[in-house]
A and B are shown apart, each in its own frame.
Chain A
Amino acid sequence: MVLRMAATYFCIISHSKLLSNVVRAHVVVRSIQSSPSTVINEEVEKHTRLAQSWWDPKGPMKALHTMNSVRIPFIRNSLCNTGVLNEIQAKTTQPFSNLKILDVGCGGGLLAESLARLGADVTAIDPSEDLIKVASTHAQANVKNPPHYIVTNIEEFSLHNKNKFDVVVMSEVIEHIETKKVFLSLSLDTLKPRGSLIVTTPQKTWFSYLGTIIMGEYVLGLVPKGTHHYNQFIRPETLSSELATLNCTTTSIVGFHYNPLSNHWSIGSQPVFNYGLHAVKSL
């Protein structure tokens, strides 16, 4: 139990490190877009350093690298459960071929590229120009059918891409969004009727409060104070009921557990630290 608790702390701390980076990335672009100032160069440099290490499996993004070993099976199993994929196709090397997938907030493309490698026709959007550049450069050299990377936000993108995708994925994104309902609603607009929404995000528990904010920001100082807003984390039941009001039915929720010592993830039934949610858009 003690070990598991310790693991939780580490999990959340390392996670918060990722979050802070992502948050910074988003901030940067907004400042670029609004008005150039002296602050920008400094931020851009920070961001570039981050972009450079994005694809380093041992770098600050290492937990996101290994997270594919749970989020890809979760996506595949979810699509099997709702009959989008048949069992035979799911076992091939290209299980996602014939599927149009949108990755909202793709960052450096860790998930989008893997989805493309598994045959999906991926569109991946992120407001950060630098990260999209990193993502698309990496994909060009490493995957046969690279994702279509676009620098944009969901507000702009959803205007012209309604009812277009079989699957919308938002992985480790929604915890950075303040107006979640609007964000979810716009994302769902891009989904075909009966399409699948996949969300992964940290759980909102006192574990994450202690780990992320008390330990991560105040005790260990891994991230600047005030990086995280605990009240932006969302519990699966809250997310599920928000989705219900948007005409979207939750079909499964699973827990993702992270072991910071081995940097390995595992899937469990209880959403304790981090979870994945699958919902289907009604007709």
Chain B
Amino acid sequence: MLSRTLLIWNARYYSSISGAKQYDVVISGGGMIGTTLACALAENPTLKDLSVLLIESGPEKKTNFSKALPYSNRVSSINSSSKDLLDRIGAWDQIQSTRTCIVDTMKVWGHSSDDLLEFHKCHNYQDKISYIVENDLIVDAVTKQLQSSNVDVMYGKKVAHYELPGQSLDKVSIKFESGDSVECKLLLGTDGANSQVRKAMNVQYVSWDYDQKGIVATVKVSVPSPNRTAWQRFIHTGTVALLPLSDEYSSLVWATTPDLAKSLLQMTPESFVDALNSEFNNPASQNEPIQAANKVAHDVLKFFNLSLTNEPIIPPRIISVEDKSRAAFPLGFGHSVKYVGPSVALLGDSAHRIHPLAGQGVNLGFGDISCFVQLAAESISNGYPIGHPECLTKYESSQQKQNVPTMLSIDLMNKVYRSSFTPVKILGNLGFQLVQAVRPIKRVMMSRVS
């Protein structure tokens, strides 16, 4: 028996002499999350001695982002913890000095102005709710940090097969299509919603499509300066949101039915702008029960001295859409039941994919990174080897506790507002009013958003 034990350990030991290059950590997927994760590991004083490899199937990214470029149509709403993470890895300075836009007010409304939900900086004594940053700029800034770190990077490298161990602390072997391979003590999957790492883990993945398409575009707006308000309207066909980029420009995220999305992409810029303006301005079809319920709710809230903002909403007016900035992408929800396995962990979209309506996707991913790096550093400073299940299980339980409620509430918001069933609609409206009127609930929501 004992000799068998020894044999197992010997095998484990000698496997490192198999010729494959050895790493402590391999990160699979060099997008925004993977690159930031690599920088965060390299920057952490406790983890900086680890040997880290980043694998990206695409070609090397050129770092040539400049202010002269037109605004890109894919943007993220960066909350304060994500900003802190980018600051820690040294990427924030470049982002801020290039171009970002502060959001200090968020106006969210539904069918009528009674539904207005206004998040303002003074409500939780914060200067800003979030920053709107182009994804390309984030990637550019973090890639620059990566280049000056001691992380090895392989571009254009396609993985043929991940060989995950059955037991904790055993090595992961990664075989490439080019025939060579590497081995590591910990594999981190940051390879997006279609994660191959997750597939290799063979974990249950809960997912559904929304039967919606997301339309993005850069639009010119006419708003009072400074343009620091994020607008979002929930209507039965979906949601439409405008995120400020500058005093002139805003970024559009419009989730709608696939048919409408198709025609929106094809129509002339003028008709697109008209359609967009009417989406923001048109009073949505009201029905009596909803109006009645709203009125009752209004009276009840008044009775308890909880006031609603009664300012009429003046939505932003869209002047024009930038050339070639319109694009569409499918929307879906996905959540991996397990984030970790022996010597492997998932971060970002590979673990969870959400509806972009709240702009929270990237923040959840950055939250995963901060949490993982902190726990890994703690674990190493407690004498554990990298990839110890003590750290991995803590990461999983902490992030699932954090992510699942956010994901489900966003999913619920989307479903409630698209519902054509009157009681559900009423509940949705009441929910809005309650959140707007009751400060503690709003504060909880704000803490999630920012």
Instruction: Give every chain A residue within 8 A of B389 (Cβ-Cβ).
Output: 57-58
Q: A93-B380, A141-B12 are in contact. List 4 more A-B contacts (CB 8 A).
A: A51-B2, A52-B5, A91-B381, A118-B383
A100 to B124, CA, bound (A): 52
Are A72 and B168 within 8 A (Cβ)? no
**Chain A interface main SS type:** helix
B211 at the interface (CB under 8 A from A): no
Write 25 A-B pairs (CB below 8 A) sorted by A numbering: A45-B1, A48-B1, A48-B5, A52-B5, A57-B168, A57-B388, A58-B389, A66-B390, A68-B384, A69-B390, A91-B45, A91-B381, A93-B45, A93-B381, A117-B385, A134-B2, A137-B5, A137-B6, A137-B9, A141-B9, A141-B12, A141-B13, A262-B393, A263-B393, A264-B390
Are A114 and B5 within 8 A (Cβ)? no
Are A52 and B13 within 8 A (Cβ)? no
Nearest opposing residue in chain A for B377, CB measure: A93
A140 at the interface (CB under 8 A from B): yes
| Binary contact readout B253-280 vs A (1 if CB under 8 angstroms, 0 otherwise) | 0000000000000000000000000000
Are A140 and B13 within 8 A (Cβ)? yes
Nearest opposing residue in chain A for B13, CB measure: A141
Smallest CB–CB gap between B378 and chain A, Å?
8
| Binary contact readout A53-68 vs B (1 if CB under 8 angstroms, 0 otherwise) | 0001110000001101
A262 to B395, CA, bound (A): 12
- CB-contact partner of B169 in A45, A57, A73, under 8 A: A57
B81 at the interface (CB under 8 A from A): no
Instruction: Give every chain B residue within 8 A of A52 (Cβ-Cβ).
Output: 1-2, 4-5
Known A57-B168, A57-B390; judge A49-B1 contact (CB<8 A).
Answer: yes
Residues from 188 to 224 in A contacting B, C-beta threshold 8 Å: none
A115 at the interface (CB under 8 A from B): yes
A89 to B156, CA, bound (A): 41
A130 at the interface (CB under 8 A from B): yes
Instruction: Give every chain A residue within 8 A of B4 (Cβ-Cβ).
Output: 52
Instruction: Give every chain A residue within 8 A of B6 (Cβ-Cβ).
Output: 133, 137
Are A48 and B2 within 8 A (Cβ)? yes
A140 to B390, CA, bound (A): 22
Known A68-B382, A117-B383, A140-B13; judge A262-B397 contact (CB<8 A).
Answer: yes
A133 to B6, CA, bound (A): 9
- CB-contact partner of A65 in B12, B378, B390, under 8 A: B390
B49 at the interface (CB under 8 A from A): yes
Smallest CB–CB gap between B74 and chain A, Å?
38
A117 to B386, CA, bound (A): 11
Instruction: Give every chain B residue within 8 A of A72 (Cβ-Cβ).
Output: 381-383
Instruction: Give every chain B residue within 8 A of A264 (Cβ-Cβ).
Output: 390, 394
Instruction: Give every chain B residue within 8 A of A142 (Cβ-Cβ).
Output: 385
A69 to B167, CA, bound (A): 21
Are B49 and A93 within 8 A (Cβ)? yes
A92 to B12, CA, bound (A): 29
Most buried by B among A51, A93, A130: A93
| Binary contact readout A110-146 vs B (1 if CB under 8 angstroms, 0 otherwise) | 0001110110000000000010011001101110000
Instruction: Give every chain A residue within 8 A of B237 (Cβ-Cβ).
Output: none
Nearest opposing residue in chain B for A71, CB measure: B382
Nearest opposing residue in chain B for A138, CB measure: B9
Smallest CB–CB gap between A82 and chain B, Å?
19
Interface residues of A (CB under 8 A from B): 45, 48-49, 51-52, 56-58, 65-66, 68-69, 72-73, 91-93, 95, 113-115, 117-118, 130, 133-134, 137-138, 140-142, 262-264
Instruction: Give every chain B residue within 8 A of A95 (Cβ-Cβ).
Output: 381
Residues from 46 to 70 in B contacting A, C-beta threshold 8 Å: 46, 49
A66 to B5, CA, bound (A): 22
Nearest opposing residue in chain A for B14, CB measure: A141
Instruction: Give every chain B residue within 8 A of A93 (Cβ-Cβ).
Output: 45-46, 49, 380-381
B379 at the interface (CB under 8 A from A): yes
Known A57-B168, A57-B388, A141-B12; judge A114-B383 contact (CB<8 A).
Answer: yes
A130 to B380, CA, bound (A): 28
Instruction: Give every chain B residue within 8 A of A66 (Cβ-Cβ).
Output: 390
Instruction: Give every chain A residue within 8 A of B9 (Cβ-Cβ).
Output: 137-138, 141
Nearest opposing residue in chain B for A134, CB measure: B5
A113 to B12, CA, bound (A): 17
Most buried by B among A49, A58, A140, A141: A141
Instruction: Give every chain B residue within 8 A of A73 (Cβ-Cβ).
Output: 382
Are A114 and B2 within 8 A (Cβ)? no
A115 to B384, CA, bound (A): 9
Instruction: Give every chain B residue within 8 A of A115 (Cβ-Cβ).
Output: 383
Instruction: Give every chain B residue within 8 A of A49 (Cβ-Cβ).
Output: 1
A92 to B394, CA, bound (A): 22
Smallest CB–CB gap between A194 and chain B, Å?
24
Smallest CB–CB gap between A109 and chain B, Å?
12
Instruction: Give every chain B residue within 8 A of A140 (Cβ-Cβ).
Output: 13
| Binary contact readout B388-411 vs A (1 if CB under 8 angstroms, 0 otherwise) | 111001100100000000000000
A258 to B322, CA, bound (A): 59
Nearest opposing residue in chain A for B11, CB measure: A141
Nearest opposing residue in chain A for B394, CB measure: A264
A56 to B380, CA, bound (A): 18
Residues from 4 to 20 in B contacting A, C-beta threshold 8 Å: 4-6, 9-10, 12-13
Nearest opposing residue in chain B for A133, CB measure: B2
Most buried by B among A45, A57, A95, A130: A57
A45 to B369, CA, bound (A): 45
Nearest opposing residue in chain B for A113, CB measure: B383
Instruction: Give every chain B residue within 8 A of A113 (Cβ-Cβ).
Output: 383
Most buried by A among B1, B168, B380: B1
A142 to B170, CA, bound (A): 11
Are A114 and B394 within 8 A (Cβ)? no
Instruction: Give every chain B residue within 8 A of A91 (Cβ-Cβ).
Output: 45-46, 381
Instruction: Give every chain A residue within 8 A of B1 (Cβ-Cβ).
Output: 45, 48-49, 52
Smallest CB–CB gap between B371 and chain A, Å?
15
Instruction: Give every chain A residue within 8 A of B13 (Cβ-Cβ).
Output: 140-141
Instruction: Give every chain A residue within 8 A of B379 (Cβ-Cβ).
Output: 69
Are B388 and A51 within 8 A (Cβ)? no
A114 to B385, CA, bound (A): 8
A141 to B49, CA, bound (A): 19
Instruction: Give every chain B residue within 8 A of A57 (Cβ-Cβ).
Output: 168-169, 388-390
A42 to B379, CA, bound (A): 38
Nearest opposing residue in chain B for A94, CB measure: B49
Instruction: Give every chain B residue within 8 A of A69 (Cβ-Cβ).
Output: 378-379, 382, 384, 390
